[in-house]
Structure 1
Amino acid sequence: MPLFPTERSVRTTPEGLLWEPSDRWVRGRKGEVTVVDSKHPVLVWEPDVPVPCYSFPREEVRTDLLQQARNPTPGRHTGSQIFYDLLAGGEVLENAAWTFPAADLAGHISFEWFWRRGSGLDHWYEEEEEIFIHPRDPHKRVDALPSSRHVRVEIDGTVVADTRRPVLLFETGLPTRYYLPREDVRLDLFEPTDHSTGCPYKGTAEYWTWRGEGEVPRNILWSYPDPLAPAAAVKGLLAFYNEAVDITLDGERLQRPRTPFSDTLTPSRTR
């Protein structure tokens, strides 16, 4: 039965890949060189990878800038791929592109994103909007909702935040994040760092580290000073990693969640 235009068709390959055609116009650049200009991209999800990548028809890729990789990296992606080095802007970017072995994706090429891997194409656009880190997942939602719930945050028994005017950020696949007004956070107990991260849904975050005693991960506190539209309500507010602090919500102590971030939150020091 044919699908209606508003329905989505996610397909599975024998290799365990999920893929879905996209209607978005996608372009990828290395510096000033446009390497990809595609109106027929495909979103691909690899097993155990929580975010998708794009794969593009060869005819919409500057294949003249690709050469078979001199030092391929088998195992980085699903299946026995062919890897390519990219020659652009006077640079050779090793393993910047690859193909999946799936028959469904024959004739398609995928690329690394610089801000995710530290190599690959460094500017990506969906229509006329620049996007970062990885493609946005059409099956993922980000909702930032003002609330009057009572949120209290403790670190090693010290109350570091207490508010009844949080913004709750609900993001598919992650625990609820509690964004708090600065006036309701003991920011004097933290010091700013030069760490930053990017998110295709929220923007670029700045971070603070705990100044007190105890084994507390660095960069435990963050804020989006200029968030993207889906998260505009959290502008300038502060959030903690639920994975490493104690949060009490309306009088109920929440269990610390286990997430992909848990293993990266290693204690910084003990005083």
Structure 2
Amino acid sequence: MAGIMSLTLGNGPLAKPPRGSLNFDLGAAAPAHVLYLHEVPQRIRGRFAGQTVVDTRRAMLLHETGLLPQWYVPLEDVRQDLIERTDHTTHCPFKGDASYWTLRVGDRVAGNTIWGYENPKPECPPLAGLVAFYFDRLDAWFEEDEPVLGHPRDPFHRVDVRRTSRHVVVRAGGQTVADSRRALALFETGLPTRYYLPASDVRMAALRSSTTTTVCPYKGVATYHDVCVGDTVYPDAAWSYHEPLAEARAVGGLLSFLGEGIEVTVDGEPG
């Protein structure tokens, strides 16, 4: 399943509410809406209609309460011949008034795809001179030469996979569809532990391929299966990563389960 987690989203330490305990009152010390901007060491590139429209070694990453991290790049590192300023504006109570640009390459146009705060509010991090893109309106993004999927990757987010001999049982409607002592446990920042099982420990006859896919910037593209028990179908209740990204490579081809009517127990306890 695609994970959505960052410093300021989900149950990260700067989210609302945070997870964990501190030796001071974060609610009193920090504003209700947190903005945190820091440098990105990687070269960032974006492509649209066969053209590299942004190429920078000076990107910044903005973390903001309730939102996914967002790259901001110097406007001068964007192809000036491919962008047109528009009259569109929006207002953010925490950052100020945003100006917009349309991206045009030949016959392809992405309207109001780029925005920037030319005169950000005084309490805002230094965003003047920087612009951001709607990530999914470009055809491809790269950190150095590696594709980035879904949204900018958060350097404070991590995925760890560990072998485990714990007894993992999956039931659908009370019937066992998987039973394993050879699972891999996937630990991902701010998300519940997920257990990935080898196909030989799964009743594969109970699985039916689904057309659903999801994208995770940290694990890759997941493909799904419906779980079928008798006349009952549990849609998209199993998924796997056939070509996972580096952090999740160990779970490639293994199956994990989640969904309404699906029960996962680990050593007899809800997992």
Q: CA deviation at 1:154?
A: 1.3
Counterpart for residue 107 of structure 2: 90
Preserved CA contact (<8 Å) 2:164 2:182: yes
Which of 127, 134, 155 aligns to 1:105? It is 127
Q: Distance in 1 between matches of 2:227 and 2:270?
A: 21
Counterpart for residue 53 of structure 1: 70
Worse-matched range after superposition: 93-102 or 23-32: 93-102
Counterpart for residue 219 of structure 2: 202
Q: Distance in 2 between matches of 1:78 and 1:244?
A: 44
Letter in 2 for 1:26: I
Instruction: Structure 2: give runs of 5+ residues left out of the alignment.
Output: 1-13, 15-29
Instruction: Structure 1: give runs of 5+ residues left out of the alignment.
Output: 1-9, 115-119, 255-271
Letter in 2 for 1:156: G
Aligned residues: 236
Q: CA deviation at 1:110?
A: 0.5
Q: CA deviation at 1:215?
A: 7.3
Classify 1:65/1:155 alpha carbon distance in 2 versus 1 (closer, same or farther; 3 Å). Answer: same
Structure possessing the higher relative contact order (Cα contacts under 8 Å, 6 or more residues apart): 2
Counterpart for residue 38 of structure 2: 20
Classify 1:20/1:127 alpha carbon distance in 2 versus 1 (closer, same or farther; 3 Å). Answer: same
Counterpart for residue 82 of structure 2: 65
Preserved CA contact (<8 Å) 1:30 1:89: no
Letter in 1 for 2:144: E
1:79-116 Cα deviation digits (max 9, x unpaired): 542232211242111231112444611111111122xx
Q: CA deviation at 1:67?
A: 2.2
With the length of structure 1 as denominator, give the TM-score of the two structures: 0.78
1:158-203 Cα deviation digits (max 9, x unpaired): 1111100001111101111110000111221121012212222111
Preserved CA contact (<8 Å) 1:203 1:226: yes
Counterpart for residue 230 of structure 1: 247
The aligned runs of 1:180-191 (5 Å cut-off) are 180-191=197-208
Matched residues, percent identical?
Answer: 41
Classify 1:91/1:140 alpha carbon distance in 2 versus 1 (closer, same or farther; 3 Å). Answer: same
Preserved CA contact (<8 Å) 2:115 2:131: yes
Preserved CA contact (<8 Å) 1:71 1:94: no
Classify 1:187/1:69 alpha carbon distance in 2 versus 1 (closer, same or farther; 3 Å). Answer: farther
Preserved CA contact (<8 Å) 2:33 2:64: no
Higher strand share: 2
